[in-house]
Structure 1
Amino acid sequence: MHNFITRGTGTAALAAGLVLAACGSAAAHVTVDAPGAAQGKYTVATFKVPTESETASTTGLRVAVPNLKSVRTEPMPGWTSKVERNDKGESVAVVWTADPGNAGVGPGQFQRFVLSIGPLPSQDTVNFPATQTYSDGKVVAWDQPATGGAEPEHPAPALTLTAGGAAEGGDHQVASAETETSDSDSVARWMGGIGLALGLFAAALGLGLVFRSRQS
């Protein structure tokens, strides 16, 4: 009976650990996602910003972009966005600030910040150095490029671009990118739900073994 209890408890603990590990790895750093992003094309980039502080909220975000012709922000209730440009009219950064009365992104939470950008430069990888501001005044810079070895402590959000071509109709490409992003988010939500369900099933199975062993 002791062996049954040990096995059941171990199964439940393993399942719970896998679920927690998956959630933790998905919310470790500021990241960017843009399915199908290609050189010379337009895309919709989604920046995922977790609040890692246990006592303060995220109230500001600045993301540098590589001197792009077009940068458009998605409306976000409770936030004000501003596109910074150089003397040539190129977009160089985007700043989001929580409006008065908006507590920001609280501990244990994350927020998506979405941009329509392009044409993307002709290079394999594009970094988007980000600066995260907290309600207690702390500022965290996510600006360290990956060097091929161990991940830096504060890696810059980065996109790997596929070979593209000459820039074409921006509005058409943006609409296509938005559709791809929506499809990708839907798949991610389904996969996350399936993973959570499997974890709960494994945990329930482990508890069931414990109860059966006690009854026997």
Structure 2
Amino acid sequence: MSLRSPSRALTRIGAVATVPLAITMLGAGFAAAHVETDPGQANKGDDAVVTFRVPNEEDNAGTVKLEVTFPLDHPVPNASTTSIPGWTANVTMTTLPKPVHQNNSDVKTAVQTVTWTADPGNQIKPGEFLRFPVLAEALPDNADKLTFKALQTYSNGDVVRWIDPPAADGAAEPEHPAPTLTLVSADTGDNAAKPAAPAAAAATDSDGTARWLGGIGIVIGVLGLGLGIVIAMQGRRSAAPTTENPTE
């Protein structure tokens, strides 16, 4: 389903963003976490809220800036951000050298970068991560995947470049893979199966009701048969002749 109302979508994700999003990471598995999109899939041609999940992988410094570069070969015409306490967001647009035809129109300007900068005294602390949502409008309908490039800046000046191309099938994952977003057709996504769910549920309910009524019918039949046998036996006893003692 297309998110054609940016203000409504941003209100929803804003409600989530205002809750403290720096969540302590548990377990050793998070130590090797990367900057990733969450969720990692969206429908072609739709608007979608794409969230960049950013972990802090250093022990003695905090993350103070995230810069995400959008692809221009399959451009995103517009993007909107939402307020995150302690951070300032900035969307930079660019004019394409040559218009790109997608979604039945020619895209001439597109999102170049989205940058989030921590306010003074704020950061993603060691052992924590933060989610940065962005509403990407009119995702391309002629691509199967979008690859972004992300630069993560720490308070000690270190910059981690999440720009390595995704690994090919069977190949080892690169050290700093770029975040990617898989694009699928709307009729093959999760939403395609949802209209059939009520029918399936109705069929299941109908089948269960039929079995329940059938069970009641069997029970009533058995009770009726037992009652008939009892009545018949009582009738036979009442009709049986009385044998008198001949010596009396």
TM-score tier (shorter):
0.5 to 0.7
The counterpart of 1:90, out of the listed 110, 118, 129, is 110
Q: Alignment length, in residue pairs?
A: 145
Hey, what does 2:185 align to over in structure 1? 163
Q: CA–CA distance in 1 between the matches of 2:113 and 2:157? A: 21
Q: Matched residues in 1 for 2:80 and 2:67: separation? A: 14
Structure (1/2) with the larger helix percentage:
1
Match of 2:35 in 1: 30
- CA deviations on 1:120-172 (whole Å, 9 max, x unpaired) are 1221111111000000001010011113111100000011110249xxxxxxx
Over aligned residue pairs, what C-alpha RMSD do you find? 2.1
Stretches of 4+ aligned residues off by more than 4 angstroms? none
1:34–1:43 CA contact under 8 A, matched in 2? no
| 1:20 and 2:27 aligned | yes
Distance 2:166 2:111 in 1: 24
1:42–1:119: 8 Å Cα contact kept in structure 2? Answer: yes
Q: When the two structures are superposed, what TM-score results if normalisation uses the length of structure 2?
A: 0.54
* Structure 2: unaligned runs, 5 residues or longer: 1-25, 96-107, 188-248
Q: Point out the structure with max Rg over C-alpha.
A: 2
Distance 1:84 1:29, change over 3 A: same
Are the counterparts in 2 of residues 124 and 161 from structure 1 also a CA contact under 8 Å? Answer: yes
**Greater RCO structure (CA 8 Å; 6+ sep):** 1
**Cα distance, 1:35 vs. partner?**
6.3
1:91 Cα offset (Å)? 1.2
Give a deviation string over 1:25-53, Cα, whole Å, max 9, x none.
7x611110236501111100111100001
Identity %: 44
Give how far 1:94 is off: 0.2
Unaligned runs of 5+ in 1: 1-18, 166-216
Match of 1:62 in 2: 67
**Alignment deviations for residues 92-121 of structure 1 (CA, whole Å, 9 cap, x no partner):** 11000001232x001101000000002112
For the 8 Å contact 1:126–1:158, the answer to whether it is kept is yes
Q: Does 2:84 correspond to 1:76?
A: yes
Deviations 1:154-211, CA, capped at 9 Å, x for gaps: 000011110249xxxxxxxxxxxxxxxxxxxxxxxxxxxxxxxxxxxxxxxxxxxxxx
Contact between 1:44 and 1:115, CA under 8 Å: does it hold in 2? yes
> Per the alignment, in what secondary structure is the counterpart of residue 27 of structure 2?
helix
